Amino acid sequence: MVRLRVLTASDWPLWREVRLAALGEAPHAFKSRLEDWDNGGQELWRARLLMPAAHNLVALLDGRPVGMAAGLPEGSGVCELRSVWVGPRARGRGVGDRLVAAVDAWARESGAVTLRLAVLPDNESAVALYRRNGFVFTGEQGDLLSDRVTRERVMAKQLR
């Protein structure tokens, strides 16, 4: 059975475990690299969990971490969906949909009117997940990637 767990600062070892698993298994899906996080100490890991009003989730399958997602407030009625990942053993079980829905619910409860995200251009499985959950491309250009040519693709979902 899959269970979603909202993380607190004391959950930094669990956050570290799932984040390193995600960056190691799917480096093509994130702007961050494993090397950026692999040697970080407790303060690096706790910092993400201490971000004001952030909503960090881990999906657990039979008690083991198999996915993650985060929601971050951007201001002016906008929240951001970030760091979505589902491990290979949990794919095809609706875990990604549950993570996205949980961040969507958090954003609505926070009073947001829009939930935004940025996705790497070649990550078609992520795009399919986001489209299935009501996101559309905005036409906006996202951040410039490390190759200094390619940009993230921005998607959004209206919540009200």
Quick one: pLDDT at residue 38?
Answer: 59
State yes or no: pLDDT of 56 exceeds 90.
Answer: yes
Contact 81, 116 (CB under 8 A): yes
Q: How far apart are CA 127 and CA 133, in angstroms?
A: 10
pLDDT in tens, 89-99: 999 999 999 99
pLDDT in tens, 113-160: 999 999 999 899 999 999 999 999 999 989 988 888 989 999 999 998
Q: Encode burial over 81-101: b for 16+ CB neighbours within 10 A, e otherwise.
A: bbbbbbbeebeeeebbebbbe
pTM for this prediction: 0.93
Q: How much of the chain, in percent, has pLDDT values that exceed 90?
A: 74
Quick one: pLDDT at residue 127?
Answer: 97
Residue type, 71: G
Average pLDDT over residues 56-60: 98
Architecture per CATH, domain 2-158, reads as 3-Layer(aba) Sandwich (3.40)
Q: How far apart are CA 80 and CA 116, in angstroms?
A: 5
Q: Is 126 helix (H, G, I), strand (E, B) or coil?
A: helix
pLDDT in tens, 26-49: 888 877 766 666 566 668 778 889
Q: Is 107 helix (H, G, I), strand (E, B) or coil?
A: helix
Quick one: pLDDT at residue 14?
Answer: 95
Quick one: pLDDT at residue 79?
Answer: 98
Higher pLDDT, 103 or 149: 103
Average pLDDT over residues 3-19: 94
